[in-house]
Structure 1
Amino acid sequence: MKTRLAGPGLAAAIAMAAFVISGGLRGTYPFGDRSRAVNDLGNQFVPFHAHLWDLLHGTSSGDLFFNWNSAFGVPYWADFVSFLGTPFSLLVAAFPRRQVDLGVYVGECLSIGLGAAVMALWLRRLKPGRWWQAGLLGAAYGLSGWTLSDGAFDPMWLWGLTGFPLMLLALDRCTRERGWLWAAPMVGMAWAGNFYTTLMAAVGTAVVGVVLLATREWSRTGLLRFLGRTALTFALGTALAAPVIWPSYLAAAGAQPIPALPYSRPPPLEYLLQLLPAQWGFGSLPRFFVGMLALLLVLAFPLSRQIPVRTRVAWCLALLAVVASFCSLPTVKVWYGLSLPNGSPYRATFVLAGLLVSVAWLCLAHRPRPGPLLAAGAITCVLAAASVRNENGVSHLTWLVVLGSGGLTLGLLLLLAGKRGARLVGAALAVLVLAESAASGVAVDQQRHKLAFYTPKPTWGARHDAVREAVKRVADWPARRTDTGPPEIVNNDPQLLGGEGPAYYSSYVPKQTAGLLRRLGYSWTMYGRHLIPQDNPVADAIFSVGARIRHTDAPARVRAERFPAPPLVTVHPREAPRLPPGSSVFAHQQAALGHKVYELPRISFAGAHGNAPLRASGPYRLTAAGAPYRITARCRPGSRLYVDGSWTDAMLAGPDGRFVRLWGERPEKAVATKPLGTVPADGRVTLTIATVFQDTELTHSPLACLDPAVLRRAIADLRARGATHVAAGGHSVRATLPAGSTGTAVIATARTPGWRCAVDGGPMRAPQSRLGMLAVPLPDDATEHQIRCSFRPPGLRAASAASAGAMTLLLCLTAFLRRARRERARAPDTRQRVPRVCDGRRSADPTSP
């Protein structure tokens, strides 16, 4: 048992130590002032873990089913199981909330260590060998190029490091006559940790399964049993994790659509050079280096004659097949469920790293001879020479690791082949693997941070404290919402700092939510996967926003303001206004509010030299050559002027001469409504589109004038006719309406699938949609109505039933097999005993005494 656990322990220790040391050498948090929160780590994972902290400590307004903090209320189950499904996410509860970054970092370290440890277990199941050798290669897998370049900044992906060898161990279980049913919960555990990376791990497991079929001796009965066990246990394991897989699939299918990035085949030379550690080539590449120890062994593997030819051929073909699969769009899609991801198409590269380590282990376990090792060293020198002419990602650390550590590693392997000083060689190799893994982490970080895209988000500091304290002072949920304002810190500020604002960035933004907020004038990027607040009092009234945080130039000072807001549940006429296609944002806002609060003026629009821009299907077409454009209109003096430049990419000068930059680009980026000041005393408004940065468009009704007094009367009317009491649970809403309320009760959240509502204790039914918002028809009587709505993730009930059925079947099979073994053990031995003839010679039967 000690040696069985020593290898995984060594792998985890080296991998985690190297990860920590590389962070210390780079001066990143918590070892220095430099934040680790790059890209999605800062914009998604840190705020998601902060929200999880609130859930675990009972301070959140939502629960695991629904998130009231983001986008005015969105489903949360898919976010939770995808971004926070790994067991190490729960560690954040043990840290102070302002140190949630540290909790995420510790979870990353443990995820890497667990992946390295489970890989070490798999290696010794693949082929018996020394524990410390398995530990070294497990550590090399844990800190592969994929981990340092991709996985470390998406903690949910790090579960793939564990999921892949865990599935391989399940596959190995299926080759046994006893204990093979344990494969099912192992598969379920892999899926439950993160179903996205486990999908890629499942494809890699299929590749290894084909290799096992080709390299092992199978009888016909044994082969059929293996295939049957594999199919049964993997199906049961997948069904066990159905509550994670199926609702997440439905949530992804119902998310705001986003086009995949164009596929780009990796350049052959740069692809090949990814074998070399301590380098990070710019651009989209499969990054799979696994250190010099594994590299030398992989290169020596095809030349090692002590390994059976069939084994060498099968594993080499498997490696080549996986390498080639990243060079063709159809095979790339196989790794991601036949769809191309929006981002790097090489997220499955950790599987290639695992296969490389498996091949290296087979070579090491067969005790490679000096000849193949020297040949491997020569090939490495050729690769190093090729990298001289390719400066993409190569630095002085690359040469130090490849030539320095590589030369020492080759010498130690030659000593090991000569069966000299195995313990000293093992200790020296452990030090080398640790040192070069840390150096690789530093090299990757140095290269990556040359790009502005990888500028990190700040760790928790004075600005975080100021905003969070301000939110706490004015918070009054569910009586009103608090908006943290524009994304000052990360794209998910409401989850990080508190409040119930519209900001939200996730792969699971429901298309109903994105569409509703866009129609009402909110900004978005990433084709609607990132929703951004707007500063508009009409939109605030629609969504019951009664407090807002105003940021200042001083990092530790913010200003909180309160203002009247309707309740979360309001009453409107039974029939919603019908808006013609192409209606303006302002028309949609008035329809959702139920009151006319804007003056929509007729405008005069002229381009350069007095020419009016052409209009096609409504919007004005703007070109750089036609600029500047001039817009004139008349509004009530003293009203507030707003512009809707949803898809406009231009510089606009308002009536007071102040410039406003519009960054719209249909359909990727949408601009929120912008305030342009107060209409002057003569009522005449003149705007100038000074610069058009690219061919763009302006909506056919781009201006609106808001009378604050009219809006105040509208809010007062909604408060008078709205709910007298509102209670919001984790995924539910209860409201009491005034006596005599008729028409439709509207809850200020998007009508997404999964809601069920009841009136006055009646049956729960699917609610209606009123202009995209959650709506419940009211009966025509004079009583005081009670409304109750509850949300359940779509598909969760059916998935839970499938999981329960799989668990029941698994328990029944376990009991049946155990009973069958007991009956065989109790049955008398009826085999006919053949008397042996003693002729004075030693029996050839090895079982005889």
Structure 2
Amino acid sequence: MRSPGAGHGLGAGLGATVAMAAFLMSGVVRGTYPFGERSRAVNDLGNQFVPFHAHLWDLLHGTSSGDLFFNWNSAFGVPYWAEFVSFLSNPFSLLVAAFPRRLVDLGVYTGACLSIGLGSAVMVLWLRRLRPGPWWQAGLLGAAYGLSGWTLNDGAFDPMWLWGLTAFPLMLLALDRCTRERGWLWAAPMVGLAWAGNAYTSLMALAGTAVVGVVLWATHEWSRTETMRFAGRATLAFTLGTALAAPVIWPSYLAAANAQSMPALPYNPPSPLGYLLQLLPAQRAFGSLPRFFVGMLALLLALAFPLSRHIRARTRTAWCVALLAVAASFCWLPTVRVWYGLTQPNGSPYRATLVLTGLLVSVAWLCLAHRPRPGPLLAAGAVTCVIAAASVRDENGVSPLTWLVVLGSGGLTLALLLLLARERGGGPLPRPLTAAALTAVVLAESAASAVAVDEQRDKLAFFAPKPTWGARHDAVYEAVARVGGWPAHRTDTGPAEIVNNDPQLLDSEGPSYYSSYLPRQTARLMRRLGYSWTMHGRHLIPQDNPVADAIFSVGARVRHADGPGQVRVERFPAPPLVTVQPRDTPRPPAGSSTFLHQQAVLGQEVYELPRITFTGPDGAAADGPPRLRAGGPYRLTAAGTPYRITARCRPGSRLYVDGPWTDALLSGPGGKSVRMWGDYPEKATATKPLGTVPADGRVTVTVGKVFRDTELPHSPLGCLDPGKLRRAIAELRSRGATHVAAGGHSVRAALPAGSSGTAVVATARTPGWRCAVDGGPMRSPHSRLGLLAVPLPDASEHELHCVFRPPGLRLATAASAGAAVLLLFLSAWRYAHGRRPADGGGRTWRRRVDTTRTGSARESTPTGKSL
């Protein structure tokens, strides 16, 4: 006979193989990368995960300017530890190091495929611990879990979430360990591993494990002592496991608390019919819904489970209540928030649907392992037909492929299940042909579901994919490598973004950044200095402004040309990364224009801020549109256009317009037009160049179209004097650092003799920095209008040294080390004092199946006494 361990391995292997094969088959059918020209990089996969993995490639190959603590590439320097442990701590992320950098997309895709396979395999292990049964049947249900509706709609395009496929069954296996008298301490490192792969989905997995823990308690006839011991073991093991992963959890929490805030989307509970239809595979309804289908095999078995009277009523009741409770929890905002640590997510509120898919598969396995009878299976088929018929009333996301899968695959699956139900005796394996046929059906159905979901998603403009690495990427990447000079100067890839994280993708040092961990200090500093943002500040966008370039030591810019492989490179003088400024710098009043903020940070007056006059549509001069408040911005309406703004500036100066929250089309001297797309507070527009001031000094700016009721600052125009800017840069260079060395998360600068005032580093002052002057004690730096600043003790030649450490990491590391020591102590103590006789070792309180009866399963205790 095959050993149980061999069965575990074969089942896990089958589950992983079927899930990955179906995922790859869907790519072949759709012609998606790497099997065709169609990119898979939709939404965050293209904007975040591919660039983040490109940055990881640089880190692993030693070519990055930063390290795991700090990222010098993005937003002129941002903390990185929380991003790493959230976006890149899935072990399969390391695979990108084995691919050429231009094939980083393929590395991400491969890691996602393997994550699906691993999650399927670990689920198989949990199913066979939940109840013994044929390994191949557990493997098929594990594959159904790996390619559930949650995976195809949410997880496949957020590789960090795919670790949740592994974290949930891994925590369930840890919970199972806690039912044993020996070896239960292994649960702690299992929990720690689950947390370490991705804390976000592991939080949801922990909540789901708590639900299963209640179910186990309800279905076991334990004594009070046994119940208390199980609860104590589980509490201690999960606490120690969480503490082991503290360096992942606690710094991420602090980083999220310090991140630029973004309001949660309004919560709309799913409609009853729309929710019910999510049981059907091969469909993707438009709109936000819990997507939890797990295929026809698991669906038929889950529907048959409550009707299977040969299974204990207590078992059926407990699992059905758990399923209904979890499903209902997605329909009420207070319980939705529980899944996310008592917060409301900024995007879909149904990301925790992963847990519901795992519970459905567990229930399906309990039904299958108890050898379902034909009656409940036929009833399940009838219920499925009723649900399918209901979709006629709501064809949202339903396609012909949906009907083919539901009716065709469902009919074949039901027939094969009925065939299995008729088999009696003959050993542990059914007829090989039946097993092969059911495997083929599950494989084909899973691939068809993935194709159907992709087809429906492609109908939405929001999911237009980002391009895979091509000629344009090569051109910009090679240009950055030619002109890059970090830390002597920064290189910006310009406002024509390829993705939202170009600096990481292309290894430059620009302002672009898109992350939920973007520090609010960075976001607000860059907004004051004229940079664009979207998503309420979580996505920073470059601007084309030489004053901002001087502030942040940008000395080269790559400009995109029309051709896919053509770029143009600009080089210009830039101050060093570390400059010396006067000790006391007045802060511009609240609500001041971007131009005043730029001058204050630069320490030089380079703009002329002219008085403006508005002319209405009838040509009559006026004081301008009504102000929103005294001294505040002007209100613009579509009915009032066209507006004309006139002013006088020095001839030859460069005209810029500042309208962060303006949604209008403006044109300046020479007919140059710019589109301002501001929408307070979600979208902010950068300062825009409007041409050169003509020889007569008269400037006319026309607001030709207002797209919605909007506003314009009370001082919207700034005329930049190029000569003054050149002199300001020369002065900053003369009193700036003579040498700068930037480590992975540190800066060293040698300042010239006679330096006095404040040393300013061209990066935002975020929590975690410590600085010292001339080898003195490390202290928290100051903030100079948002930049990192260190007061100099006297007028002398100084050495500045600043180091960044992720806030909370030291305390979290100590907690992790303490948990490891305690775990080792408990293990040694149990080994020395808790050994049991050989015949009693490994006893468990879990339910055991008495296989001596045919037609029913009898629960028994380890001693054989009937429960």
What residue in structure 2 maps to residue 715 of structure 1? 729
What residue in structure 1 maps to residue 677 of structure 2? 663
What residue in structure 1 maps to residue 554 of structure 2? 545
Matched, 1:613 2:625: yes
Matched, 1:637 2:651: yes
Matched, 1:794 2:807: yes
Alignment of 1:302-321 (within 5 A): 302-321=306-325
What's the offset of the Cα at 1:821?
3.0
Once the two structures are superposed, what CA deviation does each residue of 1:701-745 show, in whole Å capped at 9, x if it has no partner? 110101111100100000000000000000000000001100000
Alignment of 1:418-433 (within 5 A): 418-419=422-423, 421-433=430-442
What's the offset of the Cα at 1:749?
0.1
What residue in structure 2 maps to residue 776 of structure 1? 790
Partner SS, residue 158 of structure 1: helix
The residue type paired with residue 505 of structure 1 is Y
What residue in structure 2 maps to residue 832 of structure 1? none
Alignment partners' CA distance in 1, 2:679 and 2:838 = 74
The residue type paired with residue 757 of structure 1 is C
Alignment partners' CA distance in 2, 1:625 and 1:504 = 37
Alignment of 1:279-318 (within 5 A): 279-318=283-322
Once the two structures are superposed, what CA deviation does each residue of 1:56-87 show, in whole Å capped at 9, x if it has no partner? 00000000000000000000000000000100
Alignment partners' CA distance in 2, 1:823 and 1:201 = 33
Alignment partners' CA distance in 1, 2:557 and 2:170 = 48
Alignment partners' CA distance in 2, 1:822 and 1:691 = 82
Alignment partners' CA distance in 1, 2:202 and 2:820 = 20
Alignment partners' CA distance in 1, 2:812 and 2:694 = 61
User: Does the aligned pair in 2 maintain the 1:487–1:532 contact within 8 Å?
Assistant: no
TM score, norm. by length of structure 2:
0.94
User: Does the aligned pair in 2 maintain the 1:607–1:629 contact within 8 Å?
Assistant: yes
What's the offset of the Cα at 1:391?
1.4
What residue in structure 2 maps to residue 739 of structure 1? 753
Partner SS, residue 570 of structure 1: strand
What's the offset of the Cα at 1:168?
0.5
Matched, 1:362 2:366: yes
What's the offset of the Cα at 1:795?
0.2
Once the two structures are superposed, what CA deviation does each residue of 1:64-111 show, in whole Å capped at 9, x if it has no partner? 000000000000000000000100000000000000000000000100
User: Does the aligned pair in 2 maintain the 1:606–1:613 contact within 8 Å?
Assistant: no
Alignment partners' CA distance in 2, 1:423 and 1:179 = 37
Q: Aligned to 2:457, which of 448, 467, 470?
A: 448
Partner SS, residue 178 of structure 1: coil
What's the offset of the Cα at 1:427?
1.2
User: Does the aligned pair in 2 maintain the 1:487–1:493 contact within 8 Å?
Assistant: no
Matched, 1:750 2:764: yes
Alignment partners' CA distance in 1, 2:120 and 2:371 = 22
Alignment partners' CA distance in 1, 2:724 and 2:385 = 78
Matched, 1:724 2:704: no
Q: 5+ residue gaps in structure 2?
A: 425-429, 840-862
Moved more, 537-546 or 417-426: 417-426
Q: Aligned to 1:2, which of 6, 9, 31?
A: 6
User: Does the aligned pair in 1 maintain the 2:672–2:691 contact within 8 Å?
Assistant: no
What residue in structure 1 maps to residue 232 of structure 2? 228
Change (3 A) 1:122 1:487: farther
What's the offset of the Cα at 1:384?
1.2
What residue in structure 2 maps to residue 840 of structure 1? none
Alignment partners' CA distance in 2, 1:626 and 1:707 = 32
Deviating 4+ runs (over 6 angstroms): 823-826
Partner SS, residue 739 of structure 1: coil
What's the offset of the Cα at 1:823?
8.6
Alignment partners' CA distance in 2, 1:405 and 1:721 = 75
Alignment of 1:305-344 (within 5 A): 305-344=309-348
The residue type paired with residue 34 of structure 2 is P
What's the offset of the Cα at 1:657?
1.7
Partner SS, residue 482 of structure 1: strand
Q: Aligned to 1:806, which of 819, 834, 848?
A: 819
What's the offset of the Cα at 1:390?
1.7
CA RMSD of aligned residues (A): 1.3
What residue in structure 2 maps to residue 831 of structure 1? none
What residue in structure 2 maps to residue 159 of structure 1? 163
Q: Aligned to 2:258, which of 232, 254, 257?
A: 254
Once the two structures are superposed, what CA deviation does each residue of 1:554-587 show, in whole Å capped at 9, x if it has no partner? 1100011100000000000001122111111000
The residue type paired with residue 683 of structure 1 is G
What's the offset of the Cα at 1:802?
0.2
Alignment partners' CA distance in 2, 1:361 and 1:666 = 51
Alignment partners' CA distance in 2, 1:532 and 1:775 = 24
User: Does the aligned pair in 1 maintain the 2:576–2:736 contact within 8 Å?
Assistant: yes
What's the offset of the Cα at 1:824?
7.5
Matched, 1:571 2:580: yes
Once the two structures are superposed, what CA deviation does each residue of 1:595-631 show, in whole Å capped at 9, x if it has no partner? 0111111111233344521111411111111221110
Partner SS, residue 829 of structure 2: helix
What residue in structure 2 maps to residue 115 of structure 1? 119
What's the offset of the Cα at 1:220?
1.4
User: Does the aligned pair in 2 maintain the 1:525–1:670 contact within 8 Å?
Assistant: yes
What residue in structure 1 maps to residue 834 of structure 2? 821
Alignment of 1:160-199 (within 5 A): 160-199=164-203
User: Does the aligned pair in 1 maintain the 2:673–2:690 contact within 8 Å?
Assistant: no
Q: Aligned to 1:376, which of 367, 375, 380?
A: 380
Alignment partners' CA distance in 1, 2:150 and 2:837 = 49
The residue type paired with residue 317 of structure 2 is V
The residue type paired with residue 311 of structure 2 is I
Alignment partners' CA distance in 2, 1:71 and 1:65 = 15
The number of residues matched between the two structures is 828
User: Does the aligned pair in 1 maintain the 2:496–2:560 contact within 8 Å?
Assistant: no
Alignment partners' CA distance in 2, 1:4 and 1:163 = 18
What's the offset of the Cα at 1:388?
1.9
Alignment of 1:342-741 (within 5 A): 342-419=346-423, 421-609=430-618, 610=620, 611=622, 612-615=624-627, 616-617=629-630, 618-741=632-755
User: Does the aligned pair in 2 maintain the 1:487–1:503 contact within 8 Å?
Assistant: no
Change (3 A) 1:484 1:742: same
Alignment partners' CA distance in 1, 2:125 and 2:695 = 79
Alignment partners' CA distance in 2, 1:189 and 1:287 = 26
Partner SS, residue 608 of structure 1: coil
Q: Aligned to 2:275, which of 257, 271, 276?
A: 271
Moved more, 575-584 or 195-204: 575-584
The residue type paired with residue 478 of structure 2 is E
What residue in structure 2 maps to residue 835 of structure 1? none
Alignment partners' CA distance in 2, 1:150 and 1:702 = 43
What's the offset of the Cα at 1:659?
1.9
Partner SS, residue 521 of structure 1: coil
User: Does the aligned pair in 1 maintain the 2:659–2:678 contact within 8 Å?
Assistant: yes
Once the two structures are superposed, what CA deviation does each residue of 1:353-378 show, in whole Å capped at 9, x if it has no partner? 00000000000011010000000011
Matched, 1:46 2:50: yes
What's the offset of the Cα at 1:530?
0.2
Alignment partners' CA distance in 2, 1:328 and 1:815 = 46
The residue type paired with residue 795 of structure 2 is D
Partner SS, residue 388 of structure 1: coil
Alignment partners' CA distance in 1, 2:81 and 2:213 = 33
Alignment of 1:41-190 (within 5 A): 41-190=45-194
Moved more, 654-663 or 740-749: 654-663
User: Does the aligned pair in 2 maintain the 1:128–1:365 contact within 8 Å?
Assistant: yes
